[in-house]
Structure 1
């Protein structure tokens, strides 16, 4: 088989990073390289032409996931004509929805990757990116009346618990209760 062009190699790398970002949020970073490459539609051997290690891919996929979150927030702010409170409310509505609970693959990386990052050594790039992403998200959620860290912890905790109790009435009750707590003063 012939060599791929530089443009195709870049496209393949982009596809692997996007697929990894999705699979890591859905299944955790323990997904095998073989399964990840298969989901990307590429061969296992091609992985090491693109990435020095799985850890390097985890670093890039974590960055990609938090970049998606930032774009989602920025798009919401634009849709609400720069009205931060309205954009925050819309984000909370989406975040604490059944669709987000059920869609971890495209959901919040702070919630989906928390357990994996807790086990990752503090000096790894993915953990640094995760920490900065959480800080940035909390800062964005802050209001005059509510601390951003408190709001993020409420949202993230509710999402994790709702996912863990999915299939029971408690799951939707958790989402509803957290939503009410966060939007009562808005």
Structure 2
């Protein structure tokens, strides 16, 4: 069998990461088999070990990749609103605490989607390490957006705001189909935008 080019190998690696980031957010790390993941990436199961030594290694890389993808959405939000912090924050909160975000976990916030999985992983393992580093990065990226009156949010405020939004999304997903799901999203939006 002919070897793939370096470029093709890089493209295949990116496809595996993209597939894992999406599937792990949608179904959980333990809810996705390596063969299903590789099929989603358009590759054979046997190709997996050419890219990763273990599913745990892939899960950590996919977690970091998903957090980076998600963070890229928030980067530049202030600039797109001409520096209007209130308008940028309003857009962010309305998008985050929305039915669309609730209904698309595979494309949404990896912090909300993977928190439960990360909590069950090895205490000092690579998945938890990637998750914690990603949460730190998310907090840092959002502090300018979550501040008030043109100032960067203090770390404690940013942590509380992110905890409320992530918690609201997790609860809304867990109660989807019941009235309380929409109520949780609305309550988080109203609380975030009333201060």
Matches of 1:53 and 1:121 in 2, distance apart?
14
Contact kept? 2:25, 2:107, Cα under 8 Å: yes
SS in 2 for 1:113: helix
Contact kept? 1:110, 1:156, Cα under 8 Å: yes
Aligned mate of 1:184, from 164, 183, 194? 194
Q: What is residue 120 of structure 1 aligned with on the other side? A: 121
Bigger drift between 121-130 and 68-77 goes to: 121-130
2:166 corresponds to 1:162? no
Bigger drift between 50-59 and 82-91 goes to: 82-91
RMSD: 1.6
Q: Deviations over 1:30-53 (max 9, x none)?
A: 111011001111100000111111
Matches of 1:64 and 1:35 in 2, distance apart?
19
TM-score under structure 1 length normalisation = 0.92
Aligned length: 185
Q: What is residue 63 of structure 2 aligned with on the other side? A: 62
Question: What is the deviation of 1:7?
Answer: 0.7
2:91 corresponds to 1:81? no
TM superposition outliers: structure 1 runs of 4+ over 4 Å: none
Q: What is residue 97 of structure 1 aligned with on the other side? A: 98
2:49 corresponds to 1:48? yes
Contact kept? 1:138, 1:151, Cα under 8 Å: no
Matches of 1:155 and 1:184 in 2, distance apart?
14
2:1 corresponds to 1:10? no
Question: What is the deviation of 1:124?
Answer: 2.1
Matches of 2:180 and 2:27 in 1, distance apart?
23
Mind listing any 5+ residue stretches in structure 2 that lack a counterpart?
A: none
Matches of 1:82 and 1:46 in 2, distance apart?
46
